[in-house]
Amino acid sequence: MTNQGSGDVTIVDLSTMSPVATLAIGGKPAGVAVSADGARAYVTSPEGKYLTVIDARGRRALRRIALEGGPLGLAVAPDGRRVFVADMYDGRLFAVDPETGAVVATAHVGVTPSGVAVTPDGRLILVSLRDADRIALVDAASFEKIGEIEVGRHPFGVTIDAAGARAYTANVESDDVSVIDLATRAVVATVKVGKRPYCVALAQGRGFVTDQYAEAVSVFDLSTLAPVGEVKVGEYPEGIGASRDGKTVYVANWFTNEFWSIAADSLQVVGKAKTGDGPRAFGAFIRAMN
């Protein structure tokens, strides 16, 4: 969990929902992404203008990689060899080699790039362009923008399903989720959710959406796109992620400094942990190898 107020990262053991380590990060950390093999976690500090490389097994920060602009959203390539970081202020997406710390490529994607996601085959990168109400498509090999898709107003988090078939954007200003078919690269549906949605997680054939102004997680069915229910959570829920087995969904409650777990089938809140101040956890923050 990136704690933007206290400037650190809390590592929580999901089996006990207990904090097990706190790492000083600085620079108002916000974005986070864990590599597919669970070895590394990467954290952006938009105010400090750097990316921190964390040894997720040893639970220690290894090094900082300086970046320009305002690094916020990020995603790790499936093979772990690149970290894609969006610069929210100057409209760029950086491809960072996490071992050497070099920015190996830069794509100009459009205004206020926010959430970043990569397809499971590693070939396509999606970047939400918040103030343009669009998603930018970036070809991972050439690292060039190859298209845009118009979505709802102010898309922030973007999530791709495990099959690489669909993507989901949380549209903060229009209070809905755009459902994108990745084969045709078109929006196929828009799902109404609660106020100020931040991010979408997928589990058990359901979409889970943090509604910042509603103290709630909206739940909808991924096949019918009909609402399933709403889970009351803490204040200003932001980052949300599912366990790899899809049984549990985890939510960062920014205002109340708590990390909650929710059973994806019964929608019951099953656990709570304390975090540092202002947990955002914007990105793929779940490392659990269950």
Partner 1 sequence: MSFVVARRGIVLAALSLAALAPSTGFAHGPSRQKVTETIEIAAPAEKIWAVIGNFQDLSWLPVVAKTEGTGDNEPNKATRHITLKNGGEIDELLTKYDAKDFSQAYRIEKVDVKVLPVNNYSSTLTVKPQGDKSVVEWKGAFYRGYPNNDPPPELSDEAALKAITGLYQSGLAALKEKVESGK
Residue 69 C-beta: closest distance to partner 1, Å? 7
**Type of residue at 103:** V
Q: Which residues contact residue 101 at a Cβ distance below 8 angstroms, ignoring those fewer than 6 apart?
A: 63, 65
Instruction: Sheet containing 40-45: give its strands across.
Output: 32-34, 40-45, 50-55, 60-66
Q: Among candidates 9, 49, 55, which has minimal Cα distance to 32? A: 9
Least distance in Å: CB of 255 to partner 1? Answer: 6
Q: How far is the CB of 49 from partner 1 (least distance, A)?
A: 7
By beta-carbon proximity to partner 1, the closer residue of 126 and 215 is: 215
- Tokens 């498509």, located at residue: 137
- 41 within 8 A of 284, measured Cβ to Cβ: no
- State which residue, 7 or 207, has the beta carbon closest to partner 1: 7
Could you list the residues that contact partner 1 (CB under 8 A)? Answer: 4-5, 28, 30, 46-47, 49, 69-70, 72, 88-89, 112, 131, 154, 173, 195, 213, 236, 254-255, 278
The least distance separating partner 1 from the CB of residue 221, rounded to whole angstroms, comes to 26
Judged by beta carbon, residue 47 or residue 97, the one nearer partner 1 is: 47
Q: Cα–Cα distance between 200 and 191 in angstroms, integer?
A: 12
Which residue lies nearer to partner 1 by CB, 82 or 196?
196
Smallest separation, CB 248 to partner 1 (Å): 26
By C-beta, is 82 or 154 nearer to partner 1? 154
In single-letter form, the type of residue at position 94 comes to: F
The helix/strand/coil state of 132 is helix
